[in-house]
Amino acid sequence: MVEITQAKLSVNVNKIATIRNARGGNNPNVLQVALDCERFGAQGITVHPRPDERHIRYSDVIELAQHVTTEFNIEGYPSEDFLQLIETVKPHQVTLVPDPPDAITSNAGWDTITHQEYLTQIIARIKKTGARVSIFLNPNPELIPSAKATGTDRIELYTEAYATQFHQNPEQALQPYINTAQAAVNMGLGVNAGHDLDLHNLNYMAKNLPGLLEVSIGHALVCDALYLGLQNTIQMYLRALNTQNTP
Ligand code: PXP
């Protein structure tokens, strides 16, 4: 029997913290939502603490790390504070993102050619904690050899351009991602993906992107949960990741 492997769904719970922070109390409870996501089938929880703690706080990260039983993925820019948090928490995966502190959300991947040496040092430090490392990357196969040289285990493809162009022409929208993912797989790197993935564009990507191991999804999933409920929404995302399904 051929084993079908399906990319893992990691739910980014930053948006839950944004709603909580709007009122200053603890409703919704970020930890409870994360544990419920796991109970409903999510295979990972992602957080992206930012220096101003405007959504996920460093204290949330420490609490979540004690209770999350699936894969815990921490994303962020490798500032000294961020690196010390990683050394305290020792998550399963660290995803490095080159976003400036005031960015609303991540808006570019690493230039691994220019920053190869910097990333190599940072990744060596993170790997001492035992974490797997992934680096956020634009879809460009030319970045893969230098990405590999940094010592990273995986890349996370920045999928905003795919999501934007998907409705006009899915095949054309995905092609640069296929080329980059294939180059990564050929060099022994794992492939994650994230940003603006949703119930419309996820299944096509899951079916056609070589070597996809994991997606991290926040904004659209939380928006869908307003209408569909969290449990149902997670089930629908898992169905969309099943390459044998057409949702
Ligand atoms: N991956 C990275 C590196 C991100 O910064 C984000 C947003 O915080 C995501 C994935 C998830 O994107 P979205 O919220 O659009 O699903």
Lowest mean pLDDT among 4-13, 100-109, 126-135: 100-109
% of the chain beyond a pLDDT of 70: 95
Q: Name the residue among 247, 238, 173, 180 with its Cα closest to residue 211.
A: 180
Active-site entry in 48, 55, 71, 156: 48
The per-residue pLDDT for 4 is: 55
Is 219 catalytic? The answer is no
pLDDT band at 246, cuts 50/70/90?
A: low
For residue 137, what are its two tokens?
């990357």
Catalytic-role residue among 55, 71, 156, 195: 195
174-204 pLDDT per residue, tens:
999 999 999 999 999 999 999 999 999 999 9
- Active-site residue flag, 75: yes
Q: What is the pLDDT of residues 196-238, one digit of tens each?
A: 999 999 999 999 999 999 999 999 999 999 999 999 999 999 9
Helix H or strand E encompassing 217: strand 212-217
Whether the predicted pLDDT of 49 surpasses 60: yes
| 150 touches 116 (CB < 8 A) | yes
Mutate to test the pocket of ligand 1, among 96, 164, 195, 224 (most ligand atoms within 8 A of CB): 195
Model confidence at 102: pLDDT above 80: no
- CA–centroid distance, 196 to ligand 1, in Å, is 7
Give the nearest ligand 1 atom to 220 CA: 16
| Site residues for ligand 1, CB cut-off 6 Å | 12, 14, 48, 75, 95, 97, 105-106, 136, 156, 194-197, 216-220
Residue nearest to atom 12 of ligand 1 (CA): 195
Count of all residues that appear for the chain in the document: 247
Amino acid at 202: L
Integer Cα distance of 247 and 227 in angstroms:
17
Q: Is 115 a catalytic residue?
A: no
Beta bridge partners, 158, equal: 194
- 223 C-alpha to center of ligand 1: Å? 14
For the cut 70, the answer to whether the pLDDT of residue 42 exceeds it is: yes
The full set of domains in the chain, from first to last, is: 8-241 (3.20.20.70)
Report the pLDDT value the prediction gives residue 101, as an integer from 0 to 100: 65
Q: How far does the centroid of ligand 1 lie from the alpha carbon of residue 8, in Å? A: 15
Using the atom order of ligand 1, give the atom closest to the CA of residue 221.
Answer: 16
- pTM, whole model, 2 decimals? 0.96
pLDDT exceeds cutoff 80 at 105: no
DSSP assignment of 52-81, as one string? Answer: T-SSS-HHHHHHHHHH--SEEEEEE---HH
Mean pLDDT of the chain: 95
